[in-house]
Amino acid sequence: MNSTILTVFILYFIVIIGISYMTSRQKLTHADFILGGKKLPGWALAFSERATGESSWLLLGFTGFVFSTGLAGIWVAIGVSIGIIFAWLFLAKKFMKEADRYGVLTLPDYLATRFGQKADLIRWVATILIASFFMFYVGAQFAGAGKLFFTSFNMSVTTGIILTTLIVIAIAFFGGFISVVWTDMIQSVMMLVTLLVLPIIAFIHIFQSDVSLSTSLVEAGETFPLWFGGTTGFALGVLFFNHFSWFFGYLGGQPQLSSRFMALKNEQEAKQGIAIGIIWTILAYTGAFLIGLAAIALYKQDTFSDVETILPTMIIDLFPSWIAGILLAGIMAAIITTANSQLMVVTSSISEDIIHKTLKIKLTDKQLLTVSRLTVILSGLVGMLIALTSESLIYLIVSWAWAGVGCTLSPAILMTFFWKRYSSAGVIATIISGFFFTLLWINTPLDDIITSRFSTFFIAAFFGIVFSLLFPDQPASENQQ
């Protein structure tokens, strides 16, 4: 175990837990705990949104995917980047205004309040959808942490998962949304440093070693040097849509990201967020893609039993211990930020949408705060159990959650924003169809042909349109935009 790297990790953990504890010392209302109470600057929310959106999936999953795919992996980065840019440019301000207009704290509560005729049912189905898939999403982050601890310190994966769970629960428990955003901001910068510094040093090492990237791509496999993976015709279309389909989950349907938009204070803050969010995305995905390509030149395809340990391995191989510790902490930052945010989404859905709004249990603001904190603990432990028992790759688990939540709720949000005939029955049909068709798709060979990220979006949209036309809301209770 490298003592220098371990020391850097310990200092990192002390800093982020310290920040969380300091934010908890201020007087927090339930609204502050769930959505920050409109007290956070736009630039901090943008850094937080990016750190939350790009978890261990980007640093471990995507880099490993490029290593095992080659140049064709770029279509994933392009699809994701366009989705993020679209969301910031066209949806962020809309979310901010709608949250202010309806006085809501969560994405499910916005849909329920916006379509009041079936508000309670909308809250129930949305919460079940989010909690079901996000527990696996949280588990994927904890699994990524286990891999990082194993690669960095030769620590057992189980021990790494348990340690990460305790840290994530502590951060979310202390200050809720506010502490998560401020720790996210610091960790977002750490992630970006890792994604920018590592490929530069890696390619310097490659050139100094007189290694040819083009030759390495050819040696890795016949499809590796081809931008479309050597596919043509229908197969080309399948490859393109499967890789590009991450785009659909970014269109307003990821509640952990949309909550940052809802927390924006005003137009000026939104403009700050848009600039930072777009620049961060372009730099980060360019860096991650180049890291995957550099790994192809540095290592043989059969070097790793788990390709999602490539990035930490590269860091340890190429940097002195103290720099490696900082960059590896950047990976841990990605894991912790996303896990924290997903815990907050599950917590807010249960405490605000179900206990407070749907069941209408009479609780004081302080009691609601306590319920939220207890939910953080319980959700974190469930995520830990999933991480300890799951053997699937991070990339795969996140893909399923992306389809189940993002590609289900994205058509619901888009139609709510831009189609006046969308109805409460349509919202419910969108969510239920997206939930069940995702489960069906990922448990059949269909997912190997056309990814559920693509199919779920259009199936959920189809049912939402049909049920809205068949069962329109009554004009008397309709909320016109």
Out of 58-72, 190-204, 231-245, 286-300, least confident range = 231-245
Q: Are 56 and 328 in contact (CB under 8 A)?
A: no
Which residue matches tokens 């790759």? 393
% of the chain beyond a pLDDT of 70? 92
Helix axes 407-418, 452-470, angle to 10 degrees: 40
Residue 105: pLDDT band by 50, 70, 90 thresholds?
Answer: confident
User: 104-132 in b/e burial notation, b at 16+ Cβ within 10 A?
Assistant: bbbbbbbbbbbbebbbebbbbbbbbbbbb
Per-residue pLDDT at 202 exceeds 80: yes
Cα–Cα distance for residue pair 273/261, rounded to 1 Å: 9
Higher pLDDT, 177 or 56: 177
Q: What is the pLDDT of residue 458?
A: 94
Torsion angle in degrees (nearest 10) through CA of 388, 389, 392, 396: -70
Within 8 A by CB and 6+ apart from 110, the residues are 98, 99, 102, 104, 262
Global pTM reads: 0.82
* Most confidently modeled range among 155-164, 230-239, 331-340: 155-164
Beta-carbon-side half-sphere exposure of residue 71 (alpha carbons within 13 Å): 16
> 3-state secondary structure string, 231-275?
CCHHHHHHHHHHHHHHHHHHCCCCHHHHHHHHCCCCHHHHHHHHH
| pLDDT digit string, tens, across residues 375-410 | 888 888 988 888 888 766 666 777 788 888 999 999
Going by C-alpha positions, the residue among 273, 333, 340 that lies closest to residue 91 is 273
Q: What is the pLDDT of residue 450?
A: 85
Q: Which two tokens stand for residue 137?
A: 């999403």
Per-residue pLDDT at 179 exceeds 80: no
For the chain, the average pLDDT equals: 85
| pLDDT digit string, tens, across residues 292-329 | 999 999 999 888 877 878 888 999 899 988 888 888 88
Per-residue pLDDT at 216 exceeds 70: yes
Q: What is the pLDDT of residue 261?
A: 94
Beta-carbon-side half-sphere exposure of residue 398 (alpha carbons within 13 Å): 27
Within 8 A by CB and 6+ apart from 22, the residues are none
Q: Are 138 and 380 in contact (CB under 8 A)?
A: yes
The class level of CATH for 3-392 reads: mainly alpha
Cα–Cα distance for residue pair 344/350, rounded to 1 Å: 10
Going by C-alpha positions, the residue among 431, 432, 413, 430 that lies closest to residue 481 is 413
Cβ atoms within 10 Å, residue 163: 17
Q: What is the pLDDT of residue 325?
A: 86
Cα–Cα distance for residue pair 67/308, rounded to 1 Å: 9
Q: What backbone torsions phi and psi does residue 73 show, to the nearest 5 degrees?
A: -65, -15
Domain boundaries, the chain: 3-392
Q: What is the pLDDT of residue 380?
A: 86
